[in-house]
């Protein structure tokens, strides 16, 4: 026993150390602060990945639960308060998350909204159980009815004849159920009147309901699980579940699930006249939750508690003596893809997680595995599918019964290599430059400007850069190398000639901006300067170009500079050569 308690303490400590921050949902309807919400509204919120179940409280104060106490919605992201909401009131909602891989439920998000102001009485309700005009109803039955929207309470009376109150005098209740103080008379017609009301008055002209009871009978007691008993460990994967017979029971209803909030294995399975079920296939090292009730003509046994058992000494998830959820399996963070470089003699990867031990397996096309290494570092023999496994070791309750808890990750190994830059394609705008990098190689590449350290992007295109010279870096994501190239813009292709020859031969005799194929020129003015910065000409892009003269005199062969301005005031500068 001391060893078990010690194990639970260790498990609790590990779970506390491994717990991660949990994403919280967001309200969908009503939104935080919204007003005029109907009193029969359904509250909804966004789903959170990995959450097994949600729990909710609803009240009229922050953290309050007088409208709805802590209630599980299972995996559903919506909840309708069964008795509706008070009108003209600020309502506070708190949502809790339950996740089998993390700790017990804790408040995750709170929000509030205001309901509408109701000014009319409610409508009548409907009988849910027993059904109106039902026969052979157990004498121990409860009477349940549907919520009437906008109702804040109900007046109920009951008798053995129409309009009589010999079984229940008119009584107000906020509940949706009437539990008679004693059993109803057997084999008698029962008449029930239910009138919803609110602050504006009672419902009008509500019909009386009736049903007929059956013969006198007694509710059965709760059955007791014989195997596995509550808290049993090391249960086989294919056990026979058995329970004690209950006097007067006609059958048993069994629900069984892998979490306290869902019956994903058996959901209200009916075993009439049986005290055991056949073989079930369980998972190893898992905890299961079981609820068992008995029934007869009087109804179903009441107050039966949920029990649990596990199929191993257990890695979890399970609950310790303090109701903390424990999972002893180590957390794994290894990637699902790894690249190896063609130009390296060997490629080694390292474990990304802290654990007591490591295993590396190859996995063939048929799913067969072969153990390759049991170290934190692993030399990859080639591309293919592999499995990375990590484990922690724990002592058992009895000497020699220790066990390990493992986690694993399948990953693909792909061939990668350093990039080779084939070319950089440049497209110039007015004052801007677009760069497209063309790369060859068998790697998975990313791209950066100006700095080998990044930031990097997946796209090989850089758009709308200021007109300048740039160094482009290309890096293999798997670490197989980096390449770079210098990109210098060539303005010729964008309409600014590199040279002209004003020699009268009819070819290139003037220098002028060449408009794009559309014929619509973005340039509105061009100024030309000599190498000393003196203005020698100012051109209209839509007229004849510069003939190489200043003041009617030919200027000497040399480099000259231009400054072009577009419609938006952006500037492009460059130079060209006058040849004679």
Same domain, 478 and 509: no
Residue 330 has pLDDT above 80, yes or no: yes
Same domain, 433 and 385: no
Place of tokens 């509940």: 175
Same domain, 478 and 496: no
Same domain, 425 and 408: no
Residue 318's domain comprises: 225-326
pLDDT recorded at residue 29: 97
Same domain, 461 and 497: no
CA–CA separation, 254 vs 288, rounded Å?
A: 13
- The CATH number for 451's domain is 2.60.40
Average pLDDT score, the chain = 85
Residue 182 in domain = yes
Same domain, 476 and 499: no
Looking only at the bridges linking them, the beta strands covering 571-578 and 499-500 are parallel
Q: What is the pLDDT of residues 300-326, one digit of tens each?
A: 888 899 998 877 655 766 655 456 677
287 pLDDT tier (thresholds 50, 70, 90): confident
Taking CA atoms, 416 is separated from 75, 155, 383, 475, 476, in Å, by 42, 77, 10, 11, 8
pLDDT recorded at residue 434: 87
Residue 12 in domain = no
Q: Compute the average pLDDT of residues 14-41.
A: 77
pLDDT recorded at residue 467: 64
Residue 217 in domain = no
CA–CA separation, 435 vs 334, rounded Å?
A: 35
pLDDT recorded at residue 7: 34
Same domain, 455 and 396: no
Q: Compute the average pLDDT of residues 126-152.
A: 92
- The CATH number for 162's domain is 2.60.40.10
Same domain, 376 and 317: no
Residue 13 in domain = no
Q: How many percent of the chain have pLDDT more than 90?
A: 52
Domain count across the chain = 6
Same domain, 438 and 345: no
Last residue of a domain, one of 489, 523, 545: 489
6 pLDDT tier (thresholds 50, 70, 90): very low
Q: Which residue has the higher pLDDT, 11 or 126?
A: 126
Same domain, 238 and 319: yes
Q: Compute the average pLDDT of residues 432-455.
A: 90
Q: What is the pLDDT of residues 154-202, one digit of tens each?
A: 999 999 999 999 999 999 999 999 999 888 999 999 999 999 999 999 9
Q: State the number of CA atoms in the 13 A half-sphere of 258 facing the CB.
A: 16
Same domain, 229 and 248: yes
Residue 200 in domain = yes
Map residue 8 onto helix, strand or coil: helix
Point out the least confidently predicted range of 15-19, 58-62, 534-538.
15-19
Last residue of a domain, one of 182, 212, 242: 212
Place of tokens 């007015």: 430
Residue 282 in domain = yes
Same domain, 306 and 238: yes
Q: Compute the average pLDDT of residues 438-449.
A: 92
Last residue of a domain, one of 399, 415, 431: 415
Map residue 94 onto helix, strand or coil: strand
Q: What is the pLDDT of residues 60-116, one digit of tens each?
A: 999 899 999 888 887 889 999 999 999 999 999 999 887 644 545 668 899 999 999
30 CB contacts (<8 Å, ≥6 apart)? 37, 41, 43, 113
Burial bucket for residue 349 (CB in 10 Å: 0-12, 13-18, 19+): buried
Residue 8 in domain = no
Residue 5 in domain = no
């Amino acid at each position: 026993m001391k060893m078990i308690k010690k194990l639970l303490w260790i498990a609790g400590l590990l779970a506390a150390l491994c717990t991660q921050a949990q994403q919280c949902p967001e309200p969908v309807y009503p939104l935080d602060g919204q007003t005029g919400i109907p009193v029969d509204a359904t509250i909804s919120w966004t789903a959170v990945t990995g959450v097994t179940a949600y729990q909710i409280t609803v009240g009229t104060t922050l953290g309050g639960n007088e409208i709805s106490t802590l209630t599980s919605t299972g995996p559903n992201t919506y909840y309708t308060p069964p008795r509706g909401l008070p009108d003209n009131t600020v309502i506070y909602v708190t949502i809790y998350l339950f996740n089998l891989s993390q700790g017990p439920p804790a408040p995750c998000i709170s929000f509030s909204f205001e309901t509408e102001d109701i000014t009319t009485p409610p409508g009548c309700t409907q009988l849910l159980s027993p059904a109106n005009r039902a026969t052979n109803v157990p004498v121990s039955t409860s009477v349940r009815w549907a919520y009437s929207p906008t109702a804040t309470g109900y007046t109920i009376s009951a008798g053995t004849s129409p309009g009589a109150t010999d079984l229940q005098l008119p009584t107000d209740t906020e509940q949706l159920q009437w539990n008679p103080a004693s059993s109803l008379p057997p084999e008698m017609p029962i008449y029930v009147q239910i009138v919803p009301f609110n602050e504006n008055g009672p419902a009008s002209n509500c019909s009386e309901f009736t049903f007929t009871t059956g013969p006198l009978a007694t509710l059965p007691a709760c059955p007791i699980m014989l195997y596995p008993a509550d808290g049993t460990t090391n249960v086989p994967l294919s056990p026979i579940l058995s329970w004690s017979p209950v006097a007067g029971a006609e059958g048993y209803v069994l629900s069984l699930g892998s979490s306290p909030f869902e019956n994903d294995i058996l959901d209200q399975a009916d075993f009439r006249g049986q005290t055991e079920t056949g073989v079930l296939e369980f998972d190893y090292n898992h905890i299961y939750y079981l609820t068992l009730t008995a029934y007869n003509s009087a109804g179903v046994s009441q107050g039966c508690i949920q029990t649990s058992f596990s199929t191993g000494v257990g890695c979890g998830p399970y609950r310790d003596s303090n109701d903390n959820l424990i999972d002893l399996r180590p957390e794994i963070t290894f990637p699902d893809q790894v690249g190896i470089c063609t130009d390296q003699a060997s490629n080694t990867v390292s474990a990304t997680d802290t654990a007591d031990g490591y295993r590396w397996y190859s996995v063939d096309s048929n799913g067969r595995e072969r153990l390759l290494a049991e170290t934190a570092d692993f030399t990859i023999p080639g591309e293919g599918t592999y499995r990375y496994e990590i484990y922690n070791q724990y002592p058992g309750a009895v000497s020699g019964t220790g066990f390990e808890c493992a986690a694993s990750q399948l990953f693909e190994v792909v061939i990668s290599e350093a990039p080779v830059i084939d070319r950089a394609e440049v497209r110039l705008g007015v004052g801007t430059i677009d760069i497209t990098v063309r790369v060859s190689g068998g790697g998975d590449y990313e791209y950066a400007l100006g700095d080998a350290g990044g930031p990097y992007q997946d796209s090989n295109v850089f758009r709308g850069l200021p007109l300048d010279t740039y160094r482009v870096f290309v890096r293999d994501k798997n670490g197989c190398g980096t390449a770079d190239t210098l990109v210098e813009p060539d303005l010729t292709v964008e309409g600014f000639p590199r040279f002209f020859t004003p020699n009268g031969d009819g070819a290139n005799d003037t220098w002028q901006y060449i408009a794009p194929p559309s014929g619509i020129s973005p340039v509105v003015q061009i100024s030309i300067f000599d190498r000393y910065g003196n203005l020698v000409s100012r051109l209209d892009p839509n007229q004849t170009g510069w003939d190489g003269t200043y003041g009617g005199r030919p200027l000497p062969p040399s480099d000259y500079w231009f400054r072009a301005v577009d419609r938006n005031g952006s500037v492009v500068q460059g130079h060209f050569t006058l040849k004679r």
